[in-house]
């Protein structure tokens, strides 16, 4: 098994907060995140994270704080011999091409990994904007119930059902939906 998988960050990889994740101390991985990332990497997936980070534009934290959070994630994966391949973020508050639900983050991932398109590439998210962006680029959205996933499921149930979007309990369960052995 191999290919690319795109993940949202807050609510998928780590705990989410309506007050934003502003520091390394607030950046706490969800249960099963390490197991899921290790399993995805060992199955041959390239793992990219695409995340809106408007807290930077709001002045709640700096880019250096964000990079420290991502270094913490990579450090926690290091003992298992794996790393997230690329993390791309949108620091903007307003509707820009690179802020989900727009597709710029996903398009930059496609470019980075040499994909001419993202048809059927799994995109795992907890919000409707993650799924919208995935649909817009022809990717294969998967909703997780962690983070804002339960709210997304309740609010967009008809659309999720009509589009046959798979729903997973968490990132590890989503990896299993991709056929990854854990």
**Annotated catalytic, 169?**
no
* CATH superfamily, domain at 3-177: HAD superfamily/HAD-like (3.40.50.1000)
Task: Tell me the Ramachandran region of residue 11: left when phi exceeds 0, alpha when psi lies from -120 to 50, beta otherwise.
Answer: left
Using one digit for the tens of pLDDT, what is the confidence trace for 64-97? 999 999 999 999 999 999 999 999 999 999 889 9
Place of tokens 């048809």: 119
Residue 105 contacts residue 90 (beta carbons within 8 Å):
yes
**Annotated catalytic, 85?**
no
Q: Any idea where the domains of the chain sit in the sequence?
A: 3-177
Residue 49 contacts residue 181 (beta carbons within 8 Å):
no
CA atoms within 13 A on the CB side of 160: 24
Using one digit for the tens of pLDDT, what is the confidence trace for 122-172? 999 999 999 999 999 999 999 999 999 999 999 999 999 999 999 999 999
Residue 31: CB atoms within 10 Å? 12
* Interatomic CA distance for residues 80 and 86, integer angstroms: 17
Prediction pTM value: 0.97
Upstream peptide bond of 101 is cis (omega within 30 degrees of 0): yes
């Amino acid at each position: 098994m191999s290919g690319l998988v795109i993940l949202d960050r807050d609510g998928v990889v780590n705990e989410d907060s309506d007050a934003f994740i502003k520091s390394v101390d607030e950046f706490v991985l969800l249960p099963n995140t390490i197991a899921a990332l290790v399993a995805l990497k060992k199955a041959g997936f390239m793992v990219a994270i695409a995340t809106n980070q408007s807290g930077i534009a709001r002045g709640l934290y700096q880019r250096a704080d964000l990079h420290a959070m991502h270094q913490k994630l990579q450090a926690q994966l290091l003992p298992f011999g794996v790393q997230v391949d690329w993390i791309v973020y949108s620091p903007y508050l307003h509707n820009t091409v690179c802020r989900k639900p727009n597709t710029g983050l996903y398009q930059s991932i496609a470019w980075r990994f040499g994909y001419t398109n993202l048809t059927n590439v799994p995109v795992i998210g907890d919000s409707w904007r993650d799924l919208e962006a995935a649909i817009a680029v022809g990717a294969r959205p998967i909703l997780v119930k962690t983070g804002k996933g339960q709210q997304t499921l309740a609010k967009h149930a008809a659309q999720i059902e009509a589009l046959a979007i798979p729903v997973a309990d968490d990132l590890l369960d989503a990896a299993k939906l991709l056929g990854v052995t854990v």
